[in-house]
Chains A and B, each alone.
Chain A
C-alpha cells in the first residue's frame, strides 16, 4: 500500500466488513504474557528499581498530571 498512512489506516478500518476471527489467538497471546510477564525477586535486601516505581505509581495514582 503506497499512500498517506493516516488516510490509508482510516480507510482500512472502514473497509473491514468484520473483525478478524482472532479471539483464540488473543487468548493465546495473553496466556504467554501472563506466563512470562516481567517480574523481579521480592523480599531481598535493598530496593529494586521496579519496586520503587511501583510504589511511586501507587502513591500518585489519584493525582492528576
Chain B
C-alpha cells in the first residue's frame, strides 16, 4: 500500500519503481509554479479549487494573498505583474468564480499584462451536464487570452502550467488560463512527470532574431529625416522594455514631438517640451491634431 506523507506525496505508488513519488495534481500545479519562478499568488477558495487550497496548506513557497472577490484577486495579480514584470498568478473556483475573472483577464489583454489564471472546473465526468457551478470558461475567455486549456490528463499538468507561465511573458505579454477539473487536481501524478502538455496553437511564433535588422532601423531613420511633420507615437511597450531614456533621446536628436498612449503615460516627463500628452478622448486637441487629417493649419 502506498503511504501518504504530510506534504501529500504518496510514496511507492508506482509499481514500476519503489522510489517513484506521486503527488496530487494540485501539488503538481504548485510545484510547477514554484519551478517557473512564481512567488506570490492571489485568489479565493471555492469548491472546485479546494484540492488546490489543500495543497497550499500542505506546504509551498508561494505566498497566497486572499481576496474578497475573484475580480479583485485578478486586478491584484495585474498590479503585481506590472510592478514586478513577473506573471501575476490567480486562482479561482469554477463557474461564477471563473467568470468573475473575465474583467481582469480582458484588462490584462488590453494592457499587455502577463497573468496566469488557474481555475477549478467541475469533475471531468460531469463536464457538459450543466453541473453545479459549471461554466465553459475556456470558451468564455477564448477571445481574451493568449492561450487557454482545459487539462484532462493529470500527466499534462506540470508541462501545461510551465508553458502557461512562459507564454504569459513571451512576445506581447498577456493573460493565459488553465482550467483544471477537480478530479484532475486530486489525481495522483508522478512527481517527475513532464509528460508533455496541452498545446497552445494560438501562440504566436517567436522571431528568429530578437534584434531588429539594420536595414529596418536605417529605413526608420531615413523616414524621420525626410519628414517635416513627424510625431513619435509611444506605446506601453516602451515602458515594459524600460526604454524611457532611449525614447527621450530619439525624440530630442530627431526633433520629434511625442504623443503617448495611456499605457505609455509618463514615459517621458509630462513637462518635457516635446511631450504633447495623450491623444484620444482624454487628450488635448493639439495631441489629436498631430495624428489626423483635417487639422487646422
* Residue positions of A touching B, CB distance < 8 A: 1-13, 15-26, 28-30, 32-33, 36-38
Give the 6 A-B residue pairs with the shortest CB-CB distance, closest first.
A3-B212, A15-B221, A32-B286, A19-B255, A6-B243, A8-B212
Interchain CB contact under 8 A, A23 and B255: yes
In the complex the two chains form, what is the Cα distance from A26 to B227 in whole Å?
12
CA A32 to CA B221, docked complex, whole Å:
27
For the complex, give the distance between the alpha carbons of A20 and B226 in Å. 6
- 12 pairs from A and B in contact (CB 8 Å cutoff): A4-B210, A5-B241, A8-B216, A9-B238, A10-B243, A13-B249, A15-B218, A20-B226, A22-B229, A22-B230, A26-B274, A32-B289
Query: Once the chains bind, are B257 and A22 in contact (CB under 8 Å)?
Result: yes
State whether A29 touches B257 (Cβ < 8 A): yes
* Interface SS, A side: helix
Q: Count the A-B residue pairs with Cβ separation under 8 angstroms: how many?
A: 120
A13 near B211 (CB under 8 angstroms)? Answer: no
Q: B217–A12 contact, CB under 8 A? A: yes
Chain B residue numbers with a CB within 8 Å of A6 are 241-243, 246
- Is A18 in contact with B225, judged by CB distance below 8 angstroms? yes
Residues of B within 8 A of A (CB): 207, 209-214, 216-218, 220-221, 224-230, 237-238, 241-243, 246-247, 249-250, 253-257, 274, 276, 284-286, 289-290, 296-297
CB distance from B258 to the nearest CB of A (A): 11
A18 to chain B, nearest CB (A): 6
Further 6 A-B residue pairs, CB within 8 A, beyond A11-B212, A16-B253, A20-B228: A3-B211, A9-B250, A13-B253, A16-B221, A17-B221, A19-B224
Interchain CB contact under 8 A, B220 and A25: no
Cβ distance A30 to chain B, nearest Cβ, rounded Å: 8
Quick one: which of B210, B212, B218, B286 contacts A33, CB cutoff 8 A? Answer: B286
Q: Please determine whether B285 and A36 come into contact, CB atoms closer than 8 angstroms.
A: yes
Q: A3-B213, A5-B241 are in contact. Are A32 and B296 (CB under 8 A)?
A: yes
Residues of the B chain whose Cβ atoms lie less than 8 Å from the Cβ of A23:
255
Contact A16 B224 (CB under 8 A): yes
Chain A residues whose CB sits within 8 angstroms of the CB of B255 once the complex forms? 19-23, 26
